[in-house]
Copies of this chain bind each other. A is one copy, B any other.
Amino acid sequence: MDVIQELRKKISAENLWSRDFKIKRNEYLLREGEIEKYIYFIEEGSIRAYVSNEEEEYIIRFGYKNSIITALDSFFSGKPSRLNLQAIKQCRIRAVRKEDFNALIQKSPENTRLYQFVLEQLIVQQMEREMDILTVLPVDRYKRVQERSPHLFQEIPNKHIASYLRMTPETLSRLKKS
């Protein structure tokens, strides 16, 4: 079962899309310090979620075509987000307001179960991501991610993949060739 597509169907059936728009490459859906009011469905394009401190940017997550993304920290807490959500390519996005989404989730036990399943999947993905980052050798990090998320290498430019995998673009190029 593709829970994301199930959710999308339900949102369409209830007419809950509040925005449908395009953003260009490098534009932002949300910037650090803002409060998240939406869940975004990526119809076309891709998004990166990153945090920045004085020295560096850390990419936390990518959003792909046919997936969802939101600034989760702020979405759950209602407080300003630590995240930046930026388009890597031109994107077409449909957005649902948080209140509308939450009302939909509570509307039936089936919807609640669907959302619970999305949360559980996310937790497992985050565990995998934690193990990725903790893996010391670049070649092992590369292999783990290539096995689990082959679409990453189709959809995301090398420099962002390299940042996500904590290696230089040169190391990534070398690993891709070998």
Contact = CB atoms under 8 A, between A and B. Distances in A.
SS class, residues of chain A in contact with chain B: helix
Contact of A116 (B53, B115, B135, B166): B115
A56 B136 CA distance: 9
Given A51-B131, A131-B51, A120 B76 contact: yes
A85 B136 CA distance: 22
A175 interface: no
Interface string A49-87: 001010110101000000000001100110000100000
A60 B115 contact: no
A95 B76 CA distance: 28
B72 A123 contact: yes
Interface string A125-152: 0110111011110000000000000000
A1 B130 CA distance: 28
B73 A127 contact: yes
A124 interface: yes
B136 A133 contact: no
A126 B119 contact: no
Given A106-B109, A136-B55, A123 B130 contact: no
11 contacts: A58-B131, A58-B134, A60-B130, A73-B124, A76-B123, A82-B131, A109-B112, A112-B112, A130-B130, A133-B133, A133-B134
Given A76-B120, A119-B119, 18 more contacts: A51-B131, A55-B136, A56-B136, A72-B124, A76-B121, A76-B124, A77-B124, A106-B109, A109-B112, A112-B116, A116-B116, A116-B119, A119-B123, A123-B123, A129-B130, A130-B130, A130-B133, A134-B166
